[in-house]
Amino acid sequence: MIALICDSDITDVNDLSDILFKLKQIETKKFNDYNECLTYIEYNPVDMIFLSVSREDVGYQSLIRKMKAYNIPICLTSAEEEDCIKVFECDCDRFLQKPYSASAVIRCLKYFDQIGAKRSGIIIRTFGRFEVFASGTPVIFHNAKAKELLALCVDKRGAISCAEAIDKLWPSRAFDDKTKRLYRKAIASIHSTLDKYNISNIFQSYRGGCTVNTGAFECDYYSFIDDPKTNLYTLNGKYMSDFDWAEFTLANIIRIAEAVNTSKDLSFLYE
At what angle are helices 177-196 and 162-169 packed, to 10 degrees? 90
CATH number of the domain at 122-259, please? 1.10.10.10
Domain positions in the chain are: 2-119, 122-259
Q: Is the peptide bond preceding residue 45 cis, with omega within 30 degrees of 0?
A: no
At residue 13 the predicted structure's pLDDT band, cuts being 50, 70 and 90, is: very high
At residue 120 the predicted structure's pLDDT band, cuts being 50, 70 and 90, is: low
Instruction: Decide if pLDDT at 269 tops 80.
Output: no
Q: Which amino acid is at 260?
A: V
CA 81 to chain centre: 28
Instruction: Decide if pLDDT at 261 tops 80.
Output: no
Tell which residue, 53, 2, 59, 57, has the closest CA to residue 25: 2
What share of the chain in percent tops pLDDT 70? 92
Instruction: Decide if pLDDT at 124 tops 90.
Output: yes
102 or 116: whose pLDDT is higher? 102
| pLDDT of amino acid 57 | 56
What's the topology of domain 2-119?
Rossmann fold (3.40.50)
**Could you tell me the pTM of the whole model?**
0.62
pLDDT, one tens digit per residue, over 204-226 is 998 999 999 887 888 999 989 98
